[in-house]
Structure 1
C-alpha cells in the first residue's frame, strides 16, 4: 500500500507486483524490504492536475494513494473497501450495491472522479472497474487550482495499468459469497523487436449472486499502448470499457419522512429488502491519448486529450423509512442518462534559476465540455410511490409497466476553459514556497435541449493556492496551505419539487497545516484543516420538499494516520479523523439549524490495521483491519442519527511455486463478526468472503 500515510509495507519476493513476471528463485525464502525508496511511500510521485508531478513529501495537501497490489491482496471491489485503512475517506455504499452519492472525504460528498487525468461523471454510481487499475488516489479537500470547478469534497483519481518492458501474463479465477464467480487476465510487454512499442491488456468478468442477493453481471476490458517516437518523445493511449447489470440490489434508503429518533433494528434478511426485477445498468467508457515530451534539460510538456462517457438506465428502488417498526414508502425510479466529457489539456513543467532560488514552474491550459442527456419527460422518466411495506416482511411488488429509456428530455451542456500557473520556489535546501492560480470560465450553454437557445448561465473565477513547506530532513516535511474552489450551481434532482432548477455557483475555502514523516520503521501523516462551503438545505415550501442554498457549512478537523514496523514480520497501523462540523450563517427562516452538524458527517472515524508474515510457513502473510464509524445525523435538523458501528476484516495471501510458476492464493472475510448496522444510504454489508488463485506466467 502506497498512501499518504507514507507506509512502506513489507514486501516479499513472492509478493512482487504482477508486472514482475520473474519466477521466484526460492519459494521458501521471504525477503523483507524496508526504508524509503524512489517512487515509493512518501517519495511516490503523484499527478495532481495542474499541480503537475510531485512527490507526496513535496505536496502541501493530504493525499492517499492505494496501489494495485494492496487492492488485490485485500480483494477490494468498492471505494469503501479500497480506502478501508484511511479514516478520512468513507463510503456509505457497501459492496454489491450502486454507489449512489455514497462517497465522502472529510465528511463532504465526493463528486469529482478522474481516469488518467480525464474527468468522468460517476454521479449515479461512483465506482470504476478495478481490473485495469494500477492505483487509486484520494486528494483530500478543495481542488480548485488542480482541477477547476468542482465540489469541494475532494477527488478520487484512477490510474490505469501501463505497458511493461518485459512480457508478462497473469490469470486469476475467484469466488465471492454467496455465488459470484469471476475471472480476469492481465497481459503486457513489447510489441516490436526494438521494444519501442508496448501494450497492456486487461479483461475480466464476474457473474452470480452476491452476499446481499444482488445479481452481479459485469464485463470489463482495457487496452494501453505506449510508443517511444524518440528517446525524448512518447505517445500513449488508454481505453477502458465496462458493461454492468446490477440486478435486484437492496433498497436505497431515505430518512426524510421518518417519525421517531431511533432507527429500526438492522436486518440482513436481504431477500426482504429488494424488488426482484429491479436493476441498474451502466455502460462506461474512458479513453485518453497524449504525448509526453522532454524538450530540454529539466523541462517537459504533456498534451492530453480524453473522452469519457457513462450511459446508465435505472429501474432502481428507493424507500422512505417511516418509523422504528420498519414500515416504509417505496418508490420506483426509472430514467436514463448519457453523460459525456471531452477534455483537452496542454501542460509544461520545468525548473529555472533566478540567483540562488530554484523555481519549479507548472503552466498550461485546459478545455472541458460536458454533455448530459437526461430522459426527464413523461415518457422516459418515472418516480412514483408504487409499493409500501416493512423491512421484516417479503415485498411482492414487481415492475410490470413498460419502461422507456430515452435521453431526449433534459439535455444540458457545460463548458470550462482554464489557464493555470504555479511556481514552487526552493528557498535553500529546506524551504519551499508555492503560489499558483487557475482562471476558469464556466458556461452552462444548454438546459432545454434547444441548441439555438443559450441558458445565459455564465461565471468565472480565479482560484488561488498558497503553500509553505519546510523539510528539516529528506524524510520529513511540515506544510501549511490555502486553496479556494468554485462549485458550479448544481441542478436539482427529481426527488425535489423544484426539480430542474439550477442553483447559483458557490465559493469554498480551505486552510490546512500538516506534517509528513517516513523513516526506518515509522510512518506518520498529520493534518489539521478548516473547510468553508456554502450550504444546501432541504426546505418544506407549501408542503413540498425544495433544495435551496442557505448559510455556510464549516468542516474543521484533525486527521492522523501512521504505522510502525515492530519487526521484519509485524507492522501495525492506525488512523483517526476527528471532525467538528457545523452549519453557520443561516437566514432567519432556518435559525433552528444554526450550529447543527451537516447531514452525513460523523465526528469520528477510526481505523486500525495489521500485517504479519508467518515465519513457520514461508510465503504466507496475514492481514486485517478494523474500522469504527461514529454516529452521524441523517439530516441537517439533527433529529435522527445513524448509530456508530465497527467492522473487522481478515485475510491471507500465500505465494508458492507450482511447476516452476508463481502461484498466489488469496482469501478475505469482510465484516468478520457480522456486525449489523445502517449507513446513511443503505443497510450494512453483512459477512462475506472471497477466495482466488492467481497464476503468473
Structure 2
C-alpha cells in the first residue's frame, strides 16, 4: 500500500510541475499576463550560502565565512523551505562532508556525522542543547542551520570532535510579516504553520515573532507522526544602543510504530540481507517514542560604541523522553533477527550563561579583532525508575511481525543521576597585518566536573579536570574574494559512562571513562567571485579510540589507541548561465585505528566504525527564463561503503540517491505565494543505513502564502 502511495505522489509532483509550467507559460504571455504576476522577479542564485554570509561560532564571535579559518556550511530557511527538508540529512544534502544516518520519520538516535566522525554537539542561538536519543530539532522556527566542521574545543568547549550543528531561530521582523503554510507528504502526513512578526509600540521599540505548527499522519514507512510546536521571540529596544531579547519554544512529539532499529553485533554472514521496503514487516504495532522539548533564552545586546559590543545570554532547555522503541539484532543473510524492546524515561536539562565582548583595536599598523568572555554550563540527567531491555520477540525482516508490548511501563523519574558542569574563560585575537594577512590566536580554559549522584561504592562515578584548548590560524587574502588558511585546534571530550544496553551487555557498565584531548590540523581555501564559489580543505584529526574488548567471553568498553582521519573535501558551484547553476562536491577520507595496545593488536589499521572513505554530490538548479517564478532542482549523492564496527566484519554497502523538486513563486490577489514539490530517493534505491533500512521514495507538496 505504501509503495502505491509513493508512486502516486511521485506522479502528482510531476503532474503539478507540468501543470504549473503550463499555467506559468500562460502567465508569461504578455497579452494576457495580469500585473500581479509580472511583479514576480526571481534571479538565479548559487546553490548554498554566499561566503559573505556572517557565521556565529561560539567563542569565535561573528565573522564572514570567507574570513573564518575553518570549514563552515550555513543553510538558510529559504533553502530549507524550497527543498522541503525535514531532517539533518536533507538540510545538508549538498555538502558531502555532512551525513545523517537517520531517514526522515525515524528517531534520530545517534545524531549526525561530519568528516566521518559522530556529532553530538548542538546549539540553539548559541545555547548548548542536548539532542541525544531522538534528535531532530523542529525547523519551523529556524532562520538558518550552521555546521562547523571539525574540532570545536576553543569555540564551544567540551564536546565530540566531529563538529557542531548550530540553529539560529527566527527573530522579530522590521516590517509586518504573516505567512501560512500547508504541506502534504505521503502516505498521509499533513502539516501546517503560521508565522507572524513585526514591531509595535512607541518608535516600534517592541518586536515579536510567533510560530505555531503541527504535523500529523502516516509517513511513507507507515510510522505515525503527531507533533505540535509553538515558539515566540521578542525584543525590546531600551535605548538605541541597548536591547533586551527573549526566545521560547515548546514542542511535543510522538512517533508511533516506526520500523525497527537494527544492530549488527551478532551478525554471522559475509553479506548483508537484501534490503526491503516492506516496512510493515519490521514494525511493532504499539511501539512509540515520544518527547517534550522546552527551551528558552534571554539576555541583553549592548552596542558600547562603533567598535565594541557586548552580549549577555542566559539559557535553559530540557527534553523529556519516553521510549517504547524496538530494536533488532540481525543474525544472518536470510534476515532472521532477535528483537528487543527498550523502555526507559529520561529528563535531560541544560543551564547556560555567557558574557561575550567583541570589538576592534589598533596597535601601530596592526588592527585587532578581539573576542573574550566567560561561559558556565550545567547538564543534568534523571533516568526513569523502570528500565527494560529484553529479547521479547524474534522474527525475519521479510515476514510479518505480530508481537505487541503487553507489559506495564513506568515512566516515573528517579533522582538526579548525571551532573556535568563547565566553567570556561576564552579569548581570541585576529590580527590584520597589512592588506593581505590575518593571524588568529585563541584559547579556552575550562574547568570540568562530573558530580557523583549515584552513590554506588563499586566504582568512582565522578571526577574533575581542567584543560586549556588552543587555536592558532593564519589567513592569506591575495584579493578580497579569496582566502587561503591554515589552522590548528584542540578539543576536549568529556568522559563517557559505559552504557547498560547492548548484547552481550558490557561487564563494566556504569564505569566512567576519562576525558580525552583531540587534535586537528587543517589547510583550506575559499573563493567567491563573479560566477564561481569554491571551498576546499585538507585535514588531519586525531581522536582517542573507544574499543570493545572481550575477556574470557565477557565484553568491556575501553579507551585504547587513536582513531586518525586524514581527508580532503571540496565543494564548488558555478552560475553556468543567468538561469542555470551547477555544483559538485567530494570528500575523501583515510580513516584508521592506530597505536592500540597488544590486547587489541588485531584492530591496528582497521577503519573506525561509520566512516566512509568517499562521498560525492552533484546538483543543479534551473530557473525558467520565460516562466517567471518557476525553478527546478536536483541532487545526486553517493555515499561510499563503511564498516559497522571497529572489527571491520560488517560492511554497509555504498549507495547513490537521487532527489529532485520544484518551486513556483507567484502573486495571488496581491499576495506572494510559493508552491513547492519534492521527491526524495527518486529511483527508490534500496539500501541499508548504519542502523536502519533506507528511506524509500517519498515526496511532498506544499504551499506558503505571505501577506
TM over 0.5: yes
Aligned residue for 2:17? none
Partners of 2:303 and 2:467 lie apart in 1 by 32
Residues 64-213 of structure 1 mapped to structure 2, 5 A cutoff: 64-213=73-222
Q: Which residue of 2 aligns with 1:367?
A: 376
Instruction: Indicate if the aligned counterparts of 1:29 and 1:618 stay in contact, CA closer than 8 A.
Output: no
Q: How much does 1:540 deviate?
A: 2.2
CA deviations 1:538-586 (Å, max 9, x no partner) are: 2223323322111100011000001010111100011101000000000
Instruction: Quote the Cα distance in structure 1 between the aligned partners of 2:462 and 2:661.
Output: 55
Q: Is the 8 A contact 2:460 2:512 kept in 1?
A: no
Whether 1:679 and 2:685 are equivalent positions in the alignment is: no
Out of 53, 60, 69, the position equivalent to 1:51 is 60
| 2:447 maps to 1:441 | yes
| 1:638 counterpart = 2:680 | no
Contact 1:380–1:409 at 8 Å: present in 2 too?
no
Q: Which residue of 2 aligns with 1:6?
A: none
Tell me the CA shift for residue 445 of structure 1: 1.2
Inter-CA distance 35–664: structure 2 relative to 1 (3 Å threshold):
closer
The answer on 1:577 being equivalent to 2:587 is yes
Q: Deviations over 1:514-551 (max 9, x none)?
A: 00000111000000000000000122233233221111
Question: Equivalent residue for 1:511?
Answer: 521
1:479-511 alpha-carbon deviations (Å, 9 max, x no partner): 000000111101122224222211111000000
Does residue 326 of the first structure (1) align with residue 332 of the second (2)?
Answer: no
Query: For residue 678 of structure 2, what is the aligned residue in structure 1?
Result: 668
Instruction: Show the counterpart of 1:290.
Output: 299
Q: Quote the offset at 1:406 in angstroms.
A: 2.2
Task: Tell me the residue number matched to 2:233.
Answer: 224
- Whether the 8 Å contact between 1:559 and 1:578 is mirrored in structure 2 is yes
Partner of 2:3: none
State the 1:677 CA deviation: 0.2
1:118-164: per-residue Cα shift (whole Å, max 9, x none)?
11111101210000000000000100000001110110100000000
Q: Deviations over 1:16-49 (max 9, x none)?
A: xxxxxxxx9752355455799xx96111111110
Q: Which of 220, 223, 232 is residue 214 of structure 1 equivalent to?
A: 223
Gaps of 5+ in 1: 1-13, 15-23
Q: CA deviation at 1:639?
A: 1.6
What corresponds to 1:5 in structure 2? none
What residue in structure 2 maps to residue 20 of structure 1? none
For the Cα contact (< 8 Å) 2:632–2:663, is it kept in 1?
yes
Q: Which of 387, 393, 402 is residue 399 of structure 2 equivalent to?
A: 393
Matched, 1:494 2:504: no
CA distance in 1, matches of 2:636, 2:249: 33
Quote the offset at 1:656 in angstroms. Answer: 1.2
Q: Which has the higher helix share?
A: 2
- Whether the aligned pair in 1 keeps the contact of 2:49 and 2:74 (CA below 8 Å) is no
In the alignment, the residues of structure 2 paired with residue 657 and residue 76 of structure 1 have an alpha-carbon distance, to the nearest angstrom, of: 24
CA separation of 1:307 and 1:676: change in aligned 2, threshold 3 A: same
String of CA shifts for 1:665-688, please: whole Å, max 9, x gaps: 110010000000001111000000
Indicate if the aligned counterparts of 1:602 and 1:629 stay in contact, CA closer than 8 A.
yes
Q: What is the rounded CA distance, in whole Å, between the counterparts of 1:485 and 1:604 in structure 2?
A: 25
1:637 CA drift (Å): 1.1
Distance 1:508 1:665, change over 3 A: same
Q: Is the 8 A contact 1:409 1:449 kept in 2?
A: no
Q: What is residue 16 of structure 2 aligned with on the other side?
A: none
Residue of structure 2 in register with 1:381 after alignment: 387
- Deviation of 1:616 after TM superposition, in Å, equals 3.3
SS in 2 for 1:581: strand
**Contact 2:49–2:76 (CA under 8 A) maintained in structure 1:** no
Which runs of 5 or more residues in structure 2 are unaligned? 1-23, 25-33
Instruction: From the superposition, tell whether residues 244 and 456 of structure 1 become closer, same or farther in structure 2 (CA, over 3 Å).
Output: closer
Contact 1:175 1:690 in 2 (8 A): yes
Question: Which residue among 635, 654, 659 is the counterpart of 2:664?
Answer: 654
Separation in structure 1 between the aligned mates of residue 416 and residue 300 of structure 2, nearest angstrom: 36
- Give SS of 1:194's match: helix
- 1:250 to 2:250 alignment: no
For 1:527 and 1:70, locate their aligned partners in 2 and report how far apart those are by CA, in whole Å.
24
Deviations 1:573-617 (A, max 9, x none): 111010000000001011110001001100011111110011232
Residue of structure 2 equivalent to 1:419: 425
1:620-676 CA-partner distances (Å, limit 9, x unpaired) = 110111110000011111122100001111101111112121111110010000000
C-alpha distance in 1 between matches for 2:397 and 2:195? 42
State the alpha-carbon separation in 2 of the partners of residues 117 and 527 from structure 1: 25
What's the CA shift for 1:296? Answer: 2.3
> Residue 99 of structure 1: SS of its match in structure 2?
coil
Of the three residues 432, 438, 443, the one matched with 2:438 is 432
Describe the SS at the equivalent of 1:491: coil
Identify the residue that residue 10 of structure 2 maps to in structure 1.
none
Residues 1:530 and 2:536 aligned together? no
The answer to whether the aligner puts 1:540 opposite 2:546 as a matched pair is no
1:405 to 2:415 alignment: no
Alpha-carbon distance between aligned partners in 2 of 1:449 and 1:157, rounded to the nearest angstrom: 35
| Counterpart pick for 1:602 among 606, 612, 621 | 612
- Whether the 8 Å contact between 1:353 and 1:359 is mirrored in structure 2 is yes
What corresponds to 1:479 in structure 2?
Answer: 485
CA–CA separation in structure 2 for the residues paired with 1:144 and 1:79: 22
How far is 1:194 from its partner? 1.6
Instruction: Output the CA distance in 1 between the equivalents of 2:155 and 2:204.
Output: 34
Q: Could you list the per-position Cα deviations for residues 335-366 of structure 1 after superposition, in whole angstroms to 9, with x for gaps in the alignment? A: 01101010000011111111000111101001
Distance in 1 of aligned mates of 2:150 and 2:35: 45
The count of aligned residue pairs is 668
Paired position in structure 2 for 1:9: none
CA distance in 2, matches of 1:109, 1:35: 32
Residue 410 (structure 1) shift: 6.2
- Please state how far the C-alpha of 1:193 moved relative to its aligned partner: 4.0
CA distance in 2 between partners of 1:552 and 1:419 (Å) = 28
The TM-score with structure 2 as length reference comes to 0.93
Corresponding residue for residue 268 of structure 1: 277
